Structure 1
Amino acid sequence: MKFDQVSVGDELAAADVTVTRADLIRYAGASGDFNVIHWNERVATSVGLPGVIAHGMYTMALGGRYVSDWAGDAGAVVQYGVRFTNPVPVPDDDNGATVTYSGKVTATDEVARTVTVTLTVLSGGQKVLGKAIAVVRLP
């Protein structure tokens, strides 16, 4: 993607990402986050959750990958932040949970050659990341 090919209002193609319990195990190992709510149904429901939930930082990381794939370079993402608004319940089946990422260019900065991308992230019809905004420097 090149800076002069992008305009405010451009929409990024939506992408569905499947999150399975196996993904949660791999993420726990990589991140060191072994919180029981990410693997034990009984504990997760006992604290009021709908079941085992995905790590918020994993859901956020998938959004970062979504933006960097669009930009064509992971190093192009110079700023990225989100608010965690709802959990992503991950059922214990072969289907997992679907998280849908979409985005829109909401600002451009000609001097810095950056674009601001605002993401919409949904799972089960609910917004799971709020104020998900990435700033991307494009050639």
Structure 2
Amino acid sequence: MKDTQVDPMPQPETAERELWPTVWRGFRRKCPNCGSGPMLKGYLKVRDHCPVCREDLHHHRADDGPAYLTILIVGHLLAPVMLASYTAWQPDPLVMFTGFAIGTVTLSLYLLPRLKGALVAFQWARRMHGFGSSQ
């Protein structure tokens, strides 16, 4: 698979970076350049550089973007499910609250680091915030 191999030749600064394969590598929390090194060194902390290909990752400016996207996705997924389950079964409010609280927290904790990786990879692919510039 191409994502697990390190490119032996460095790419020139003007080389085109493919967007969707790069974002998919970031969603998997892998280095956007080589696809094999881990991007995160904790739950949400981005490494300064890839341990495999030595690509600098400290340029990222993810800030509140991953949290916003997580809230947006979780809200749009669970709101219709909540409405459908209430109209179909009319569960007790405490049961409904407990189930959806667990679902919301679980889905949010799953998506947050993956969306952060995807956002950092998007910035890398588009050469934003210092990625790809000769500094």
TM-score of the alignment, normalized to the shorter chain, above 0.5: no
Query: Which is richer in strand?
Result: 1
Question: Greater CA radius of gyration, 1 or 2?
Answer: 2
Structure number with greater CO (CA < 8 Å, separation at least 6) is 2
TM normalised by structure 1 equals: 0.26
Query: Which is richer in helix?
Result: 2
TM normalised by structure 2 equals: 0.26
